[in-house]
Amino acid sequence: MEPPEMINAGALVLKRWELAWAEELTAAVRESLPELKPFLPWAADDYELASARAYLADSDQRWEKGTDFQYAVFTTIGDLIGSIGLHTRRGPDTMEIGYWLRTPFAGRGHTTAAVRTLTRVVSALPGITKVAIVHDVRNLASGRVAEKAGFTEAARRVTEAGDTEIIRERPAGDC
Ligand SMILES: CC(C)(COP(=O)(O)OP(=O)(O)OC[C@H]1O[C@@H](n2cnc3c(N)ncnc32)[C@H](O)[C@@H]1OP(=O)(O)O)[C@@H](O)C(=O)NCCC(=O)NCCS
C-alpha cells in the first residue's frame, strides 16, 4: 500500500511532487545550493529547469512503481520550502526518509516537524516496522533533525567516495 499523496503536517503541507512546480523547484534549489552541495550529489552549479523536470519525471515513475515517494513541502500559505521523501531501498520492513530545505526557511524546526509527521504516516503502512535516516557524519544539522525525531545510531558505513555515513533508525510508531 502506498502513502497518501497529500499530508497535513500542522504548519506544513506535504504534497506529491507535480511537474507544474518545476520552476519553483529550480528556484528553491538554486538559492540553496551552498547548503545543499556538500551533502546532496545532484545539487550542482549547473542545476536548471531541465534538471528539475528530469527529477520530477523520475520521481513520478518511482511513485508509480512504488519504490520512492517524494513530497514537496509547502507552508500553509503556499511557499514551497523544500522536499522530503520516502525510500523503500532498505528492505520491505523499513522506510528511509530523506530531506532538504530551502535555505531561508531553515532553522525553524520545519524539517523535524515534517519527519515526525511522515514517520507517523508510514508507521500505519502494512509491514513497516522501522524508519531510517542516513546522513553524512559531517552533516550535523541532519543528524540533529534525526535525533530530535527519535532516531538513534544503528550503524556506520563508508561510501565508495570514502565518506562516512551514519544510519539512524527508530521503530515505527508515533513520534
Ligand atoms: C538538514 C536540513 C534539512 C535541516 O532542516 P531544518 O528545517 O533547518 O531543520 P530543523 O530546523 O528541524 O532542525 C535543525 C537542527 O539542526 C541544528 N543545526 C543546524 N545547523 C547546525 C550545525 N552546523 N551544527 C549543529 N547543529 C546544527 C539546528 O540548531 C537545529 O537543532 P535545534 O532545534 O536543537 O536547535 C537542512 O539544513 C538542509 O536542507 N541541509 C542541506 C541538505 C541536507 O543535508 N539534507 C539531508 C541529507 S541527509
Tell me what pLDDT residue 48 has.
98
Supply the residue whose CA is at minimum distance from atom 48 of ligand 1: 135
Q: Taking the CB of residue 74, how many other CB atoms lie within 10 A of it?
A: 19
Q: Does ligand 1 come within 6 angstroms of the Cβ of 109?
A: yes
**CATH: 3.90.1170.50, 3.30.70.60, 3.40.50.300, 3.40.630.30. Which one for 6-171?**
3.40.630.30
Sign of CA dihedral 14, 20, 26, 27: negative
Q: Which residues of 61-71 are buried (b: 16+ CB within 10 A; e: fewer)?
A: ebbeeeebbbb
Q: Does ligand 1 come within 6 angstroms of the Cβ of 110?
A: yes
Q: Does ligand 1 come within 6 angstroms of the Cβ of 116?
A: no
Q: Which residues of 87-117 are buried (b: 16+ CB within 10 A; e: fewer)?
A: bbeeeeebbbbbbbbbbebbeeebbbbbbbb
Q: Which residue has the cell 520491505?
A: 92
Domain spans of the chain, in order of start: 6-171
Tell me what pLDDT residue 101 has.
98
Question: 108 C-alpha to center of ligand 1: Å?
Answer: 9
User: Cα dist. 160→86, 87, 96, 142 in Å?
Assistant: 23, 20, 20, 21
Can you give the pLDDT of all 175 residues of the chain as single tens digits? 799 999 999 999 999 999 999 999 999 999 999 999 999 999 999 999 999 999 999 999 999 999 999 999 999 999 999 999 999 999 999 999 999 999 999 999 999 999 999 999 999 999 999 999 999 999 999 999 999 999 999 999 999 999 999 999 999 987 6
DSSP state of 4: P
Mutating to test ligand 1, I would choose from 97, 111, 119 the residue with most ligand atoms within 8 A of its C-beta, which is 111
Q: Which residues of 11-41 are buried (b: 16+ CB within 10 A; e: fewer)?
A: ebbbebbeeebbeebbebbbebeebbeeebe
From CA 45, how far away is CA 36, in angstroms rounded? 11
